[in-house]
Amino acid sequence: MMKFIFKKIRESILTIIILSFGVFMISHLAPGDPLASVYGSGVERLSSELREQAIDDLGLNKPLMYQYGIWVTNSIKGDLGYSYKYKMPVKDVIKTHLPNTVLLIGLCLSLTFILSIVLGLVTALNEGKLIDRIITRCTTLLYCIPGFWISLILILIFSVNLRMLPSSGVYDIGKENDLLNRISHLILPLTVIVIGHLGYYANFVRNKVLEELKEDYILLARAKGLSKFQIIVRHPLKKIMPSIIILMSLSFSHLIAGGFVVEYIFSYPGLGQLIFESAKYHDYPLLMGGVMLTGIIVVLASLVSDILSSLIDPRLKERGMN
């Protein structure tokens, strides 16, 4: 088991290294002027001498491999650089945005997990009935609709027409300590992300429960006089719970990706919006810091899911060692 874990850790480290190199090169080779992030609209008024001096001060006139080496060396020491746009250390910028993303993704993960189990059990208990067909088809349909389209529809209905919910930000100006105000800003982003993932997980729970109900041990439970609900909760649900947890951890990257898109659409000041903005304005240090933090989180989630999978099913560990 330890050999398997060490192998997965080596693969994770290699993945992070490849990610850092790829993002660094692509971002620096992409068209655009990074000085626009530093000077804003004033970049057009810079003389050629000042432009060259600014590029030299930022170290952008050095070979890319040399710049990458400097970035790696500083990152190992805990120095992620200085944001061109925010004029402050990258670590400090990320610290102000990361809690918002953690809150959003954490709530989405919890709600998706709970609601998928509830809907999965409801549809399994009512297999073939009207409520089963309605829930299954609606969740499947919502899963197939792009998240950005749902976001725009909800903004149009609840923010523009009904004026019930805010369409951007994490709280209104001057109400950072108002819990209800913060909740109102979370409702629409949460709804979009949960809707986009709920159908897949709910159908997974439903199908797994129905498969377990066909097993022989269910006959014994029925012979004891247990109701269908009691049987499902006591036996199939317990048996498939590890599979649900593993599926959620494997899909963590999709959840984060969907959350980042939603953050950008709703102007939610989280890590996702930060990465989009840094890419737009060629704020290389901030872009690298945000992407690498996200990549490390996703890689760690994948590592945990691999270890959990191998503990539940040793056959997966044997395949991973080949």
* In a domain? residue 50: no
Considering the chain, what is the average pLDDT of its residues?
84
Query: What's the whole-number mean pLDDT along residues 129-145?
Result: 88
Within a domain: 19: no
Whole domain around residue 297: which residue ranges? 90-321
At 313, the pLDDT band (50, 70, 90 cuts) reads low
Residue 146 inside a domain? The answer is yes
- What pLDDT sits at residue 91? 92
Taking each helix axis from N to C terminus, what angle separates 284-312 and 252-265, rounded to the nearest 10 degrees? 150
Q: Is 142 helix (H, G, I), strand (E, B) or coil?
A: helix
Of the given ranges (10-24, 180-194, 219-233, 267-281), which has the lowest mean pLDDT? Answer: 219-233
Q: What percent of the chain has pLDDT over 90?
A: 22
Higher pLDDT pick, 139 / 235: 139
Whose tokens are 């297999």? That residue is: 127
Query: Mean per-residue pLDDT for 171-183?
Result: 87
Residue 312's pLDDT band (boundaries 50, 70, 90)?
A: low
CB atoms < 10 A from the CB of 187, how many?
Answer: 14
DSSP secondary-structure letter at 83? -
Q: Is residue 84 part of a domain?
A: no
Model confidence band, residue 185 (pLDDT cutoffs 50, 70, 90)? very high
Asked if 105 contacts 259 with a C-beta cutoff of 8 angstroms, the reply is: yes
Q: Give yes or no for residue 221 having a pLDDT over 80.
A: no
- pLDDT over threshold 80, residue 75: yes
Residue 305 has pLDDT above 80, yes or no: no
Residue 21 domain flag:
no
Q: Given this model, what pLDDT does residue 98 score?
A: 92
Give me the mean pLDDT over the 16-40 stretch: 84
**pLDDT beyond 70 at 130:** yes
* Domain total of the chain: 1
Say if residue 224's pLDDT is above 70. Answer: yes
pTM given for the model: 0.83
Q: Is the pLDDT of residue 226 over 80?
A: no
| CA-only gyration radius of the chain, Å | 24
Is residue 156 predicted with pLDDT exceeding 90? yes
If we measure between CA atoms, which residue out of 229, 199, 17 comes closest to residue 124? 229
Is there a domain that residue 48 lies in?
Answer: no
Task: Report the share of the chain in percent with pLDDT over 70.
Answer: 94
* Overall average pLDDT of the 278-305 stretch: 87
Distance CA 206, CA 202 (A): 6
Find the DSSP H helices in the chain.
2-29, 35-39, 48-58, 64-76, 90-125, 130-144, 147-154, 179-212, 217-223, 228-234, 236-250, 252-265, 271-280, 284-312, 314-321
Q: Which amino acid is at 148?
A: F
Mean pLDDT calculated for residue range 118-137: 89
Q: Are 248 and 109 within 8 A, CB to CB? A: yes
C-alpha–C-alpha distance, residues 83 and 275, integer Å: 12
Asked if the structure places residue 297 within a domain, the reply is yes
Shortest CA distance to 265 belongs to which of 198, 197, 182, 193? 193
Cβ atoms of residues 301 and 252 within 8 Å: yes
* 70 within some domain: no
214: CATH: 1.10.3720.10
- Distance separating alpha carbons of residues 246 and 233, to the nearest angstrom: 19
Running DSSP on this structure, what letter comes out for residue 89? B
pLDDT at position 41 is 67
Average pLDDT over residues 141-150: 85
